[in-house]
């Protein structure tokens, strides 16, 4: 049987080449990689496909409700023109476009369960906030960075859920978020300041545009300055959290399903019939595309695990690196190979679970190290990278400067925090 670590690296190179050269759908790339890895590792074809089916089913069970509900909420709001109302409400609390853009991306990525979905929803609004085309493009970059930070670091998102399921070891998500939310917001604030937030000011606009920012909301909503129908699904999600914990005693794995169903139900109930039907149809289509990619990651991860990667390759990596760096480096390699952060954390959590890394590190250190690795390489295999390049029309070097580098620095900062906690607090 070939060396497990070498075969894993070859598989990552194969995924990268197929993704860049053929632009094949990620699902087929990942399934093909699963078959490739399984057969070369010595598994028979039936065992490979049984592992693929097992990985697909497990990931679908975890994510189907969450992602469908988030996509439906996003599309229903978009069909009603309520995204503009949400941004207008945030705008009244800050007169600084860079701050607004970064914060809007940060906030919207959480309930929509997809940072790219949040960006697509926000970009038509944010493109009108700058004083010129160059400033508008910078605002888009800030929204993108903000969305990735919350999506990668804050529980619950499709990135953090598999980490807690596999590596959390009974750690409370609340405790993790008490650390992750301030940390991610401090990093976002630093990025905003680096973009020149102090020297940028909102241009004053007339009452006509202010009313337009209210979307299709009622006259009362515009006058009160709060678009309650647009915020209702998010408020229901927040309100369902204490209800799920205190009244229903739900563990976090079931709680996230419950609160997302509650938010989707609120969005569906409050929407007019036409927006409701269009939102459900478009949201289901979008969720299906996301789910296939994530399920493909689950299939590949399960095949690698069933082939014995953890027992063979992880000790080799651990012998070369300090233990705290092992999850970071492994995750960064997977992220560089295929680009999707959800796919990265699904595979990384599968590979790390049960090995000596889990036994040797505090769960919070481990979670932060993996999250850092999912941030640090946001380059040509990252679909978000190309979306930004198309949206801004900038050269690749510019996208690297305003998107790839800030996230790389963010990943390093999160890793340093993880190392500091492991050294000073958890030892």
Counts of helices then strands in the chain (DSSP H, E): 23, 0
Report the alpha-carbon distance of residue 166 to residue 395 in Å, rounded. Answer: 39
Write out the chain's pLDDT in tens, 427 residues: 468 888 888 988 888 788 778 777 778 888 999 999 999 999 999 999 999 999 899 888 888 888 898 889 888 988 998 888 877 887 777 778 898 899 989 988 887 777 887 887 788 778 777 777 888 899 999 999 999 999 999 988 889 988 988 888 878 888 999 999 999 999 999 999 988 744 444 444 333 434 444 444 443 344 446 788 888 988 898 888 889 888 998 887 788 889 889 999 999 999 999 999 999 999 898 888 878 877 887 888 888 888 887 777 777 787 888 888 999 999 998 888 777 898 889 888 888 886 778 878 889 999 999 999 999 988 877 878 888 888 888 888 899 999 999 999 999 999 999 999 988 877 6
Report the alpha-carbon distance of residue 48 to residue 51 in Å, rounded. Answer: 5
The reported pTM is 0.74
Cα dihedral value 31, 36, 41, 46, nearest 10:
60
pLDDT for res 354: 66
pLDDT for res 51: 93
pLDDT for res 213: 43
Residue 310 sits at φ, ψ, to 5 deg, of: -60, -40
**Does the bond joining 156 to the residue before it have cis omega, within 30 degrees of 0?**
yes
**112 neighbors 74 (Cβ within 8 angstroms):** yes
Report the alpha-carbon distance of residue 60 to residue 63 in Å, rounded. Answer: 5
pLDDT for res 117: 78
Q: Where are the domains of the chain?
A: 4-197+211-424
Report the alpha-carbon distance of residue 57 to residue 320 in Å, rounded. Answer: 34
Distances (CA, A) of 237 to 174, 241, 315, 368: 15, 7, 42, 25
pLDDT for res 216: 43
Q: Which sign, positive or negative, has the C-alpha torsion 253, 254, 255, 257?
A: positive
- List strand residue ranges (DSSP E) for 201-335, in order: none
pLDDT for res 368: 95
pLDDT for res 219: 38
pLDDT for res 313: 75
């Amino acid at each position: 049987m070939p060396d497990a670590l070498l075969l894993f690296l070859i598989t990552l190179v194969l995924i990268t080449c197929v993704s860049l050269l053929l632009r094949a759908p990620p699902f087929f790339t990942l399934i093909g990689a699963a078959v490739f890895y399984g057969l070369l590792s010595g598994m028979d074809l039936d065992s490979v496909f049984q592992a693929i089916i097992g990985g697909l089913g497990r990931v679908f069970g975890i994510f189907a409700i969450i992602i469908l509900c988030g996509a439906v909420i996003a599309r229903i709001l978009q069909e009603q023109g309520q995204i503009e109302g949400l941004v207008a409400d945030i705008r009244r609390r800050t007169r600084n476009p860079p701050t607004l853009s970064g914060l809007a991306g940060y906030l919207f990525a959480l309930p929509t369960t997809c940072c790219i979905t949040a960006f697509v929803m926000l970009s038509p609004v944010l493109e009108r906030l700058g004083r010129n085309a160059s400033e508008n493009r910078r605002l888009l970059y800030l929204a993108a960075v903000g969305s990735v930070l919350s999506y990668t670091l804050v529980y619950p998102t499709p990135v953090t859920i598999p980490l807690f399921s596999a590596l959390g070891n009974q750690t409370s998500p609340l405790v993790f978020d008490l650390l992750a939310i301030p940390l991610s917001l401090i990093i976002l604030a630093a990025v905003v300041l680096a973009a020149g937030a102090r020297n940028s000011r909102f241009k004053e606009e007339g009452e006509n545009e202010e009313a337009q920012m209210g979307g299709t909301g009622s006259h009362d909503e515009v006058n009160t300055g709060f678009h309650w129908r647009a915020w209702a699904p998010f408020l229901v999600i927040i309100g369902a959290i204490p209800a799920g914990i205190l009244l229903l005693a739900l563990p976090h794995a079931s709680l996230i399903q419950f609160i997302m169903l509650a938010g989707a139900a609120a969005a569906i109930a409050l929407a007019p019939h036409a927006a409701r039907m269009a939102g459900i149809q478009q949201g289901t289509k979008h969720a299906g595309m996301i789910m296939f990619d994530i399920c493909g990651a689950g299939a590949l991860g399960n095949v690698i695990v069933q082939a014995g990667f953890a027992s063979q390759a992880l000790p080799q990596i651990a012998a070369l690196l300090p233990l705290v760096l092992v999850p970071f480096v492994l995750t960064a390699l997977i992220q560089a190979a295929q680009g999707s952060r959800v796919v990265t954390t699904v595979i990384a959590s599968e590979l790390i679970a049960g090995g000596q890394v889990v036994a040797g590190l505090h769960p919070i250190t481990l979670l932060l190290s993996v999250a850092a690795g999912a941030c640090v390489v946001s380059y040509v295999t990252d679909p978000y990278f190309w979306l930004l390049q198309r949206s801004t029309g900038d050269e690749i070097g510019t996208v690297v400067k305003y998107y790839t580098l800030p996230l790389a620095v963010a990943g390093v900062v999160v890793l340093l925090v993880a190392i500091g906690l492991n050294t000073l607090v958890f030892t």
